[in-house]
Structure 1
């Protein structure tokens, strides 16, 4: 059902109106058809009542009294009137009680009060008199089955002395000109209504579609340039104006944040650098090393905080980059420092990205692998329209219920994983933010051995790449 239902506002509106109009037209056609059938039945009962009254009063039809022959007209129904001692109703036939009551009412208005009245429908082939009349007319209407159709038989009981007077009337064939008229009317209404509604709805949906595209672009770039002009109905214009004002306010807040972070970074890094120089005067080498490590840890945490705050508004442009070469360069940095990092052979994969930011994300992931697992195995492969960079370690892993939480800022794992590791818990959060900035994602999963025990952690950085 969801596949058939359109997803756009314009499509849903047009389909809803079309379905409502279809239901209304079907109901209207049904009512018209029923009213037409009721009028036809009432007219035939009136004609039958007239023939019955003519027979009962002994008055010949007007044309017969004038000696005229009835003209042949399309749709003429021939009525046969007979007198019998018994009811025309056969055993097993079901009479039309409502029609009989109407027939009695019609005769009552003319001062005729029959003892009983019977109205029944019967096929032409099943009634001898109607069959005989139909076969006589067959010669004048070639190409039609003379026995096809029904005949209405209306009889009234006038008492033992006069017996039953019965009139037979051929039911005209079912003509559907009215239904065709309704169908054509429906198509015309559909064409007019759908055109008008499509124009009105398009006037509403086009600005909304532009606003949606602008929202997506602003969420990705945070660039206040390119706001859309308010247009469309008054409500839609007010929505666009409110969004433009909110967007400008957000951009102003982001600018203030960048200025504040720059000032904080400058004000903190300057005394840290001076402190780093002063500790050189400390004679105790062990204490000097501990103090230097503390200053380095503070500086690194400060860099992570500033980078995480600026990740949504990078200043460097995107570049077409060969991923395998970039990953290999990061791995070589750790190899030069004597770290246990390896990189598997990879094919050439090109992506448009910000190399500086991606190197930062890879360093965080490789650093985590070395810190908690003692070594890191890096691999790169193409999977459909994305590249997957995997970093594996042999550490204790992360509890399954804590994996998502561990990628939140300032979150650190359990003590068994973090004893002596330091850090502010920003490495994974920054790596995920960088991946999402490039339209990718970061996934963490525990690696398990044959016995089902956790044997390490696998971090997968996925990035969209160009088709080759």
Structure 2
């Protein structure tokens, strides 16, 4: 069931609102149908009872030879009248059931006492056609017409064998029985067009109001999600506007406070790192002056090389700290043109770097920071792989830069560790190629700040492949 449910809060809220509207409408239909059935039944029973009273009083006052024509003329598809010599079997009980007792009490109040005393009433389902035995008891009616003309099914149950009816039996002076069988009005639910139109209009109003309210509630959540995404790329992003409802303002204020604390934490860490790196340069300078006085040339050269390596690491650390502290604005830039310029610069420095022809791709970036990250990746590929080939692939959402080298690759267990600051693979720890261990860490930090990803993998044909993906 969950796979058919909407994934968004907006969709789920709208579905719940619609389901509630449908359920409430169905309940309203049921209540209206029940009330309508009761009202229609009561009105029909009252009309039928009044008709029975009027015809009974009229037939009682007529001469014997006039009664038969009147009975025949008054009978119809919804009303059967008969005068029989004996009491029907069903009339042995005065009234059975609350409906029958209510109708009998009403009829008794309208009829003379001599007729009311013999009155019997029955409310229930009876056959469409008059049984043969009963037709034989109605010599004064047109039995052929009556037997071939069933009583109209007022209840809309043409496929059923019975209909709900009211039967009354009264003994006339002389001992004969006057029998009435009346079809009660339909108690089914009748759907009126005005009611249906009003229901549809109400539904449209409720749906429109629900959609507006849900969008108003979920809009701050989308804004908060976008702000969190910006914060992941740039800790110095502009704060959220603290507007809207009380809850929205509280959430925006809490987010701004969190962003401010994160920014201060990063700035403090960067300043501390820069201070430590700067303070290390003074003792290294003094150490270098003392090493130059060492008489053994080989020992002096090894010590100077170690100090040079430490100075290189400090310079890289200071550069990393400066880049982290710098706030460069984002702007749209042609990524292909940037890579062409970098490849040309490296090729002019006699490095084996090439680039496959690629279409122009515009991305939002910090140009200086992105250039530094791409230079670090290409320099790393040339330094450890001998050469680098750049390829750009695009789709509607992303742009992917692939840098392939011709080196031996990296062990699978080392692929994730090479992005850690100051981490170097054992085979690269020489003065010639070892580096400071910050190149890939800087590249990862810059690419992550641009909302992108970087993935290293060993190519099946040999060498290392670095795939950098940017959002367009």
| Residue in structure 2 matched with residue 26 of structure 1 by the alignment | 26
In the TM superposition, what whole-angstrom CA distance separates every residue of 1:326-365 from its partner, at most 9, and x where no partner exists?
33145326x53xx6x3314433635454444334323433
In the TM superposition, what whole-angstrom CA distance separates every residue of 1:118-176 from its partner, at most 9, and x where no partner exists?
5147599xx974974889xxxxxxxxxxx9999544558999x9899561416459673
Deviation at 1:231?
Answer: 3.3
Aligned to 1:223, the other structure's residue is in SS state coil
TM-score if structure 2 supplies the norm length? 0.66
| Residue in structure 2 matched with residue 37 of structure 1 by the alignment | 37
Identify which of 99, 116, 125 aligns with 1:119.
125
Instruction: Show structure 2 runs of 5+ residues with no match.
Output: 63-75, 109-116, 131-143, 153-157
The whole-number CA distance in structure 1 between the counterparts of 2:359 and 2:295 is 52
Is 1:430 the counterpart of 2:442? The answer is yes
The whole-number CA distance in structure 2 between the counterparts of 1:464 and 1:223 is 20
Deviation at 1:443?
Answer: 1.5
Is 1:458 the counterpart of 2:465? The answer is yes
Identify which of 266, 271, 291 aligns with 1:254.
266
Identify which of 346, 357, 379 aligns with 2:390.
379
Q: 1:274 to 1:259 in 2, by over 3 A?
A: same
Deviation at 1:379?
Answer: 1.7
| Residue in structure 1 matched with residue 346 of structure 2 by the alignment | 331
The whole-number CA distance in structure 1 between the counterparts of 2:286 and 2:179 is 127
Identify which of 176, 190, 200 aligns with 2:190.
176
| Residue in structure 1 matched with residue 135 of structure 2 by the alignment | none
Q: 1:227 to 1:31 in 2, by over 3 A?
A: closer
| Residue in structure 2 matched with residue 7 of structure 1 by the alignment | 8
Q: 1:284 to 1:43 in 2, by over 3 A?
A: farther
| Residue in structure 2 matched with residue 346 of structure 1 by the alignment | 357
Deviation at 1:253?
Answer: 3.0
The whole-number CA distance in structure 1 between the counterparts of 2:261 and 2:44 is 79
Q: 1:79 to 1:22 in 2, by over 3 A?
A: same
In the TM superposition, what whole-angstrom CA distance separates every residue of 1:82-109 from its partner, at most 9, and x where no partner exists?
46789999xxxxxxxxx98555544675
TM-score if structure 1 supplies the norm length? 0.67
Deviation at 1:403?
Answer: 3.7
The whole-number CA distance in structure 2 between the counterparts of 1:402 and 1:163 is 109
Aligned to 1:448, the other structure's residue is in SS state coil
Deviation at 1:29?
Answer: 1.0
Q: 1:134 to 1:401 in 2, by over 3 A?
A: farther
| Residue in structure 1 matched with residue 80 of structure 2 by the alignment | 80
Is 1:223 the counterpart of 2:229? The answer is no
In the TM superposition, what whole-angstrom CA distance separates every residue of 1:223-282 from its partner, at most 9, and x where no partner exists?
3645413432x2222222222333333333333334333323322344445545654444
Deviation at 1:376?
Answer: 2.8
Q: 1:235 to 1:345 in 2, by over 3 A?
A: closer
Q: 1:456 to 1:163 in 2, by over 3 A?
A: farther
The whole-number CA distance in structure 2 between the counterparts of 1:13 and 1:270 is 65
Tell me, yes or no, if the aligned pair for 1:51 and 1:81 is still in contact at 8 Å: no
The whole-number CA distance in structure 1 between the counterparts of 2:30 and 2:220 is 41
Q: 1:177 to 1:38 in 2, by over 3 A?
A: same
| Residue in structure 1 matched with residue 459 of structure 2 by the alignment | 447
Tell me, yes or no, if the aligned pair for 1:224 and 1:251 is still in contact at 8 Å: no
Aligned to 1:389, the other structure's residue is in SS state strand
Aligned residues: 415
Deviation at 1:44?
Answer: 4.4
The whole-number CA distance in structure 2 between the counterparts of 1:88 and 1:153 is 17
Q: 1:288 to 1:24 in 2, by over 3 A?
A: farther
Aligned to 2:55, the other structure's residue is in SS state coil
Aligned to 1:5, the other structure's residue is in SS state coil
The whole-number CA distance in structure 2 between the counterparts of 1:183 and 1:33 is 14
The whole-number CA distance in structure 2 between the counterparts of 1:457 and 1:164 is 109
Tell me, yes or no, if the aligned pair for 1:117 and 1:157 is still in contact at 8 Å: no
The whole-number CA distance in structure 2 between the counterparts of 1:107 and 1:360 is 99
The whole-number CA distance in structure 1 between the counterparts of 2:294 and 2:129 is 121
